[in-house]
Chain A
Amino acid sequence: GQQVMQIPQYQHVQEGEDFTTYCNSSTTLSNIQWYKQRPGGHPVFLIQLVKSGEVKKQKRLTFQFGEAKKNSSLHITATQTTDVGTYFCAGREGTYKYIFGTGTRLKVLA
């Protein structure tokens, strides 16, 4: 079955530094979603990417979908303490479900 891996598993950054998490799928994805889960919270939808090579921006967050639609990345510019949490990608498999990645836990040191 489809597997979705994320690297790194953990990342500690100094506030103001940039951060990137990478998502890799064993199969081609029809689309990919990104979620953020704050400590003690639940996953919250951030964005969806559909097209090959697509790039979307949300303020300091930049999301990219690979040309082969098997990988994706999330880049945060100038991290802030509010960026703390675990970032998950989720690749769509078939009609009914998304396979979630292993997640990258981000800690931002003030």
Chain B
Amino acid sequence: ETGVTQTPRHLVMGMTNKKSLKCEQHLGHNAMYWYKQSAKKPLELMFVYNFKEQTENNSVPSRFSPECPNSSHLFLHLHTLQPEDSALYLCASSLTSGETQYFGPGTRLLVL
């Protein structure tokens, strides 16, 4: 499945680094999402964008900063992360918000 792609697939960063995760969807969808998946926790919704407008910020710390320049691309900018932020970060898209979501392969992030 190549409908939703994410880069990088793996990332190791120090707590003082700045990095960005990228998500791209080729499905013509208008809604995009960031999720965090940690061990022993359910999928946690972080942000929702619908037609490039942010419609949901699920009380995410400001060290995570999303950017949606167009309906096909979504970024998650990371700075001064904590070790507990280590997780699998999944991007998803849907035709419009609230519809069936198609997930990317995820970026596995390790914060040292």
Contact = CB atoms under 8 A, between A and B. Distances in A.
A96 B43 contact: no
Given A42-B90, A96-B48, A97-B48, 16 more contacts: A42-B103, A42-B105, A43-B90, A44-B103, A45-B100, A94-B98, A95-B97, A96-B31, A96-B50, A96-B55, A96-B56, A96-B97, A97-B58, A97-B97, A100-B45, A102-B41
Contacts of A90: 43
B102 A103 contact: no
A2 B33 CA distance: 19
Contacts of A95: 55, 97-98
26 contacts: A33-B101, A41-B105, A42-B90, A42-B103, A42-B105, A43-B43, A43-B92, A43-B103, A44-B1, A44-B103, A45-B101, A45-B102, A88-B42, A88-B43, A95-B55, A95-B97, A96-B48, A96-B50, A96-B97, A97-B33, A97-B48, A97-B97, A97-B98, A98-B45, A100-B35, A100-B45
Interface residues of A, number: 21
B104 interface: yes
A70 B45 CA distance: 20
Interface string A80-110: 0000000010101011111111110000000
